[in-house]
Amino acid sequence: MGKTGDMTQTILITGASSGLGAEMARQFADLGHDLGLCARRTDRLEELRTEILQRHPDRRIEVRALDVTDHDAVFTVFRDLAATFGRVDRVVVNAGRGKGAALGTGRFDDNRDTAATNFVGALAQVEAAMEVFRAQRGGHLVAVSSMSALRGMPKSMTTYAATKAGLAHLVEGLRTEFYGKPGYDFTVLYPGYIASEMNAGVTAAENKMMVPTEKGVAAMVAAIEKKRASACVPALPWAPLSILMKHAPLPVFRKII
């Protein structure tokens, strides 16, 4: 049944087959939490499950195939994991797609797929998570947004940044709705550049602000465990840069991105 009063939490992570999601799974397991891991590539999820269980045989890890653009499946899988564990303490809306093209250059298909995954797919996850949380009277919703959400971005980033701003606003809206209600927490993470499959083509030499996956995810996990309302991760350089990104005059902003 429920895990109230014990340190182990049950955490559902989408997009857990690679990058930040897989590393969050490892680090949450290291902290003693049980996991529901979702993604399309279930072979990767099974490998991750085996790897984590070798280190932590007492952990409980459930794996589910999930394409977040299949909205019925999102509800089915979230309900199934809630029933299987008896309670889901935290949901991390992490699945995402980084592709896109400048608007009006003939790649509506690409931008539409990014919007469908990162925003409509995230909306389905938030709806399904809140259904579980309302039924069990509490839970911690975590959205993996992006530093790019802080301001409209040019070219291939335009749609991606808009989807991440949209996701952040969904969760901020819920935080306003549930203000003062005990048991409900909402965290929006704004990651900077963290090594993952999404940016595998970019080397550390090309992007000096890129941090290794373990380090970037450690900052994410620390912010989540503290139930921070929002956090730029890693805090340096991204927290100070967030002020510049939001307020720099356009000619300055165009030069720094």
Ligand X SMILES: NC(=O)c1ccc[n+]([C@@H]2O[C@H](COP(=O)([O-])OP(=O)(O)OC[C@H]3O[C@@H](n4cnc5c(N)ncnc54)[C@H](OP(=O)(O)O)[C@@H]3O)[C@@H](O)[C@H]2O)c1
Interacting residue ranges for ligand X, rule: CB under 6 A: 14-21, 39-41, 66-69, 94-98, 117, 121, 144, 146, 191, 193-194, 196-199
Q: Which residue has the tokens 């690409």?
A: 110
Cβ distance 137 to 153 under 8 Å? no
Quick one: tokens of 189?
A: 């993470």
Q: Report the alpha-carbon distance of residue 224 to residue 220 in Å, rounded.
A: 6
Clarify whether 160 is annotated catalytic: yes
Q: Give me the helices (H) in 7-70, please.
A: 19-30, 42-55
Q: Which amino acid is it at 203? A: T
CB of 125 to ligand X, least distance (A): 9
Q: Which residue has the tokens 């971005």?
A: 153
Closer residue to ligand X (CB): 47 or 131: 47
Closer residue to ligand X (CB): 87 or 158: 158
CB of 144 to ligand X, least distance (A): 4
Q: CB-based burial of residue 135 (10 Å sphere; 0-12 exposed, 13-18 middle, 19+ buried)? A: exposed
Cβ distance 192 to 148 under 8 Å? no
Q: Which own/partner pairs from 203-212 qualify as long-range (CB within 8 Å, at least 24 positions apart)?
A: 209/237
Closer residue to ligand X (CB): 46 or 225: 46
> Which is catalytic among the residues 160, 184, 190, 193?
160
CB of 68 to ligand X, least distance (A): 4
Residues 6+ apart with CB under 8 A from 164: 118, 145, 146, 148, 149
CB of 135 to ligand X, least distance (A): 24
Closer residue to ligand X (CB): 100 or 139: 100
CB of 8 to ligand X, least distance (A): 24
Closer residue to ligand X (CB): 3 or 222: 222
Q: Report the alpha-carbon distance of residue 54 to residue 130 in Å, rounded.
A: 33
- Residues tagged active-site: 160
